[in-house]
Amino acid sequence: MSLDKHQMAALIARDIPHGAYVNLGIGRPTLVADHLPADSGVVLHTENGMLNMGPAAKGDDVDPDLINAGKIPVTELPGTSYFHHADSFAMMRGGHLDVCVLGAFQVSAGGDLANWHTGEPDAIPAVGGAMDLAIGAKSVYVMMTLFAKDGSSKLVPECTYPLTGVGCVDRVYTDLATFLITPSGIEVRETFGITLDELRARVPVPLAG
Amino acid sequence: MSAKIYETAADAVAGIEDGSTVLIGGFGMAGMPVQLVDALIDQGAADLTVVSNNAGNGDTGLAALLAKGRVRKVVCSFPRQVDSWVFDGLYRAGKIELEVVPQGNLAERMRAAGAGIGAFYCPTGVGTPLAEGKETRMIDGRTYVLEYPIKGDVALIGAHRADRMGNLVYRKTARNFGPVMATAARLVIVQVSEIVETGDLDPEAVVTPSIYVDRVVTA
């Protein structure tokens, strides 16, 4: 069976090392937080200036001054710290974050990432922190469905959408398989409800099993 | 000189000229100096370049300034949001210029302006459309893009508390761009929830020292 988004999030959560400093991109990657075990020791970073971010705030805990990168009200945990934007992005660029998890439109065989702009004429470009995260975190994990709505593979020889970062992606977690991007090419770590031969027939990049 | 305390937001924004580059703090509405932006709307300065993370939310604050047609250009990282209809409409009608800047570059370019740095090499955006036409340099085996400072004529900032000298503390993630913008503009105007007596802020906890702050008003 292919994985749903919660199963994908759980898989990523299991692969995050104990005690890692982690940034979860807006959208689906935020689901990973729900699957981190209580004793994971993982510290979540949010680009708008906070470490050790807690779960989403509910009811009386909602504070308009305490939000995440998706502008959702969140909570503090013991050990939380706040800092300004230049410091927050220095943490990324300076290589201090262990892992970031990002969504993607496309990932190339060489680990190029496209996730900020469709390039369509009437689309309004909005990059946020995606480019800084993509080149900054020590490990960049992508979480996406393997195929677009039109059936085309989002793992591609070269990205056709505008790039977010060059050669920056380490792993791609999808509903049908987990891919490791290595200097010698793409390795399939595991598959879900599909065989390696079926994957090779639908994904237009060489896949090592 | 130490900051001056103003009685009203209207007094605090007096003198902002047409054609100014205005740095506006906030990440979404957290830290957005709404009363100062409203006062700027009433004050009437036009042909502005606004530097802010977003391009306005809903119909208030920055969105209202845009709706009045006072802004020529927006420099931001993330204009498109579920509630950015004012900007979206102006952009699609060709009535506003947009420079999209990666969020970390936006912060670091203002930090550079405030710190007297002439330009800096940054790895963000290498090989992407946002680095097209920019000078690059290989340093220690990695490619970097040359990025220039963003200087403001004016910064409008929201903070939590000020003392009467203009030292500032912020609250939670409403800090965001405030401390960097406070260093990067010639005239720094701050709205706070509360002004306390000088000496009542813990010196170890001051985030923006008074040297950066020109005008303070409670809102």
Q: Residues B144-196: pLDDT tens digits?
A: 999 999 999 999 999 999 999 999 999 999 999 999 999 999 999 999 999 99
Task: Provide CB contacts within 8 A for A198, sequence distance 6+.
Answer: none
CATH number, domain of B86, equals 3.40.1080.10
Residue A15 has a pLDDT of 97
Which one of A51, A112, A131, A160 makes the best mutation probe of the B interface by having the most chain B beta carbons within 10 Å? Answer: A131
The pair of structure tokens assigned to B198 is 């000088």
Phi-psi region of A17 (alpha: psi -120 to 50; beta: other; left: phi over 0): beta
Average pLDDT over residues A124-137: 95
Residue B212 lies in domain: 4-218
Rounded to the nearest integer, the mean pLDDT of chain B is 97
Residue A122 has a pLDDT of 81
Task: Provide CB contacts within 8 A for A88, sequence distance 6+.
Answer: A45, A47, A48, A49, B104, B107
Q: In what order do the strands lie in the sheet with A74-82?
A: A74-82, A50-56, A43-46, A21-24, A99-102, A139-143, A171-173, A177-182, A185-191, A207-208
Residue A123 has a pLDDT of 87
Please say if A47 is a catalytic residue: yes
Interface of B with A in 43-62 (CB under 8 A): 53
Say how many residues make up chain A.
209
In total, how many domains does chain B have?
1
Write the pLDDT tens digit of every residue in A65-114: 999 999 999 999 999 999 999 999 999 999 999 999 999 999 999 999 99
Write the pLDDT tens digit of every residue in A136-150: 999 999 999 999 999
Write the pLDDT tens digit of every residue in A154-196: 999 999 999 999 999 999 999 999 999 999 999 999 999 999 9
Interface of B with A in 14-33 (CB under 8 A): 27-31
* DSSP, res B17: P
DSSP conformation letters of A21-48: EEEE-SSGGGGGGGGS-TT---EEEETT
| Contact residues, chain A, for B30 at CB < 8 Å | 48, 64-67, 71
| Contact residues, chain B, for A84 at CB < 8 Å | 107, 175-180, 207
**What is the C-alpha separation between A106 and A93, in angstroms, rounded?**
22
Which one of A68, A113, A124 makes the best mutation probe of the B interface by having the most chain B beta carbons within 10 Å? Answer: A124
Residue B81 has a pLDDT of 86
- Does A120 score more than 90 pLDDT? no
In total, how many domains does chain A have?
1
CATH number, domain of A17, equals 3.40.1080.10
Give pLDDT < 70 ranges for chain B. 1
Residue B2 has a pLDDT of 75
Do the Cβ atoms of B188 and B214 come closer than 8 Å? yes
> Residue A160's closest chain B neighbor by CA?
B128
Residue B63 has φ and ψ, to the nearest 5°, of -60, -40
Residue B1 has a pLDDT of 67
Residue A18 lies in domain: 5-208
Which one of B52, B92, B111, B128 makes the best mutation probe of the A interface by having the most chain A beta carbons within 10 Å? Answer: B128
B175 and A82: CB-CB below 8 Å?
Answer: yes
Residue A64 has a pLDDT of 97
Interface of A with B in 69-108 (CB under 8 A): 71, 76, 82-86, 88-90, 92-93
